Amino acid sequence: MGFRQIKVALVSGPLSFATLIRVFYLIILSVLAATLFISPLQAKDILPVVGQAGKAGSPPTLIFSTYEVRDEETGQLMAQLDALVREATARVGWVAEVMPLPFRRSIRAANSGAADGHYPRIEGVEDDYQNLVRVDSPLLWGEVVALTFDPAIRISDWGSLRHYSVGYPADWVIFYSRAGDYGHPAPVELESNILKMLKARRFQVALVWKELFRISSDQNQGEASGLTVTPLEQRNAYLYLHKKHGALAPLLAAVLDDMHRDGSFEVLCPFCKAPTQDSSQAGGYLIPPFIPSL
């Protein structure tokens, strides 16, 4: 029974019950068919997708890749950063969700678009991962520093490293991109071992990001005894977005700046305060567990 037959049935004499049921059934099927023809369903309409609203009327969601951590200290830092990013994202009208991944996969997920963004990452990583857009307001402040236990070694700048064997975290772009400048490059796969390897004289100098040194008066400082720390370059860590969300980068940067002014930045992330300690000597600096591959 087509549309014309339905019209005829409705305006003609009394209908039997069975005919009435058939009429209404066909009307419903016709309406559904017309709706699908006009606006066909797509996968994005029925499946959750990154960067999409999960439910009608709810704020859109951004999924950020971060790091899987195994120690309490780094876990506390990441929890503070998570709270900070969630608040900043909420202020621009989005909802942030966190997707912890093994450190090698975390930035690749954001660069591929499988995640909408990534944090924290030291500036300059976008040179190798060109789908990433930096939110230009730092999450963490720090310097690249050279470490040595040998008092005879004199380091003044990057160029002076050509005279020494140099250990560095293998996956950090800022370090492996300069490997040609080292006397003998010694990439370290497990960053948490780098100080022990330096102390065991596996190499003469180690390169790390200074923010991984934290002064703590209530912890044992023996491992850093006699360690000289020489700053080489200021490098901060940032929030990054996949380029499909690049328009949000200046908005999030402005929000993070506002959070500094209203004090909520430091409330949510006390660890994120800019360091004020003297960087020329190790003093009370410790090597806490590393944040993998910043």
DSSP for the chain, please give it: --HHHHHHHHHSSPPPHHHHHHHHHHHHHHHHHHHHHHS---HHHHS--TTSBSSTTSPBEEEEEEE---SHHHHHHHHHHHHHHHHHHHHTT-EEEEEEE-HHHHHHHHHHTSSSEEEEEETTGGGT-TTEEEEEEEEE--EEEEEES-TT----SGGGGGGSEEEEETT-HHHHTTGGGSSEEEEESSGGGHHHHHHTTSSSEEEEEGGG-EE-TTS--GGGTT-EEEEEEE--EEEEEEGGGGGGHHHHHHHHHHHHHHTHHHHH-GGGSPP-S-SSB-TTEE-----TT-
Query: Is pLDDT of 9 > 50?
Result: no
* Averaged pLDDT, 185-197: 87
Residue with tokens 């009327």: 57
Spatial contact of 265 and 74, defined as CB atoms under 8 Å apart: no
Give me the pLDDT at residue 192, please: 74
pLDDT band at 74 (very low <50, low <70, confident <90, very high): confident
Separation CA 14–CA 30 (nearest Å): 23
pLDDT tens, position by position, 120-139? 998 888 988 999 999 999 99
Give me the pLDDT at residue 111, please: 97
Query: Is pLDDT of 143 > 60?
Result: yes
The pair of structure tokens assigned to 221 is 């400082």
Query: Is pLDDT of 176 > 80?
Result: yes
Query: Is pLDDT of 16 > 90?
Result: no
pLDDT tens, position by position, 216-261? 223 335 566 788 999 999 889 999 999 999 999 999 999 999 999 9
User: How big is the chain, counted in residues?
Assistant: 294
The pair of structure tokens assigned to 77 is 């830092």
pLDDT tens, position by position, 29-68? 555 455 444 344 333 332 334 555 555 668 899 999 998 8
Give me the pLDDT at residue 29, please: 53
Give me the pLDDT at residue 52, please: 53
Give me the pLDDT at residue 291, please: 42
Strand 117-122 with 285-286, pairing: unpaired
Q: Do domains 61-141+236-272 and 143-235+277-286 have the same CATH topology?
A: yes
Considering the segment(s) 61-141+236-272 as one domain, its CATH architecture is 3-Layer(aba) Sandwich (3.40)
Question: Which of the pair, 93 or 174, is modelled with greater confidence?
Answer: 93
> What class, spelled out in words, does domain 143-235+277-286 have in CATH?
alpha beta
pLDDT band at 73 (very low <50, low <70, confident <90, very high): confident
pLDDT band at 271 (very low <50, low <70, confident <90, very high): confident
Spatial contact of 141 and 212, defined as CB atoms under 8 Å apart: no
* Averaged pLDDT, 78-92: 96
Query: Is pLDDT of 19 > 80?
Result: no
Give me the pLDDT at residue 222, please: 56
Strand 165-169: give its sheet, edge to edge.
184-188, 165-169, 205-209, 143-148, 228-234
Domain segments of the chain: what residues?
3-40, 61-141+236-272, 143-235+277-286
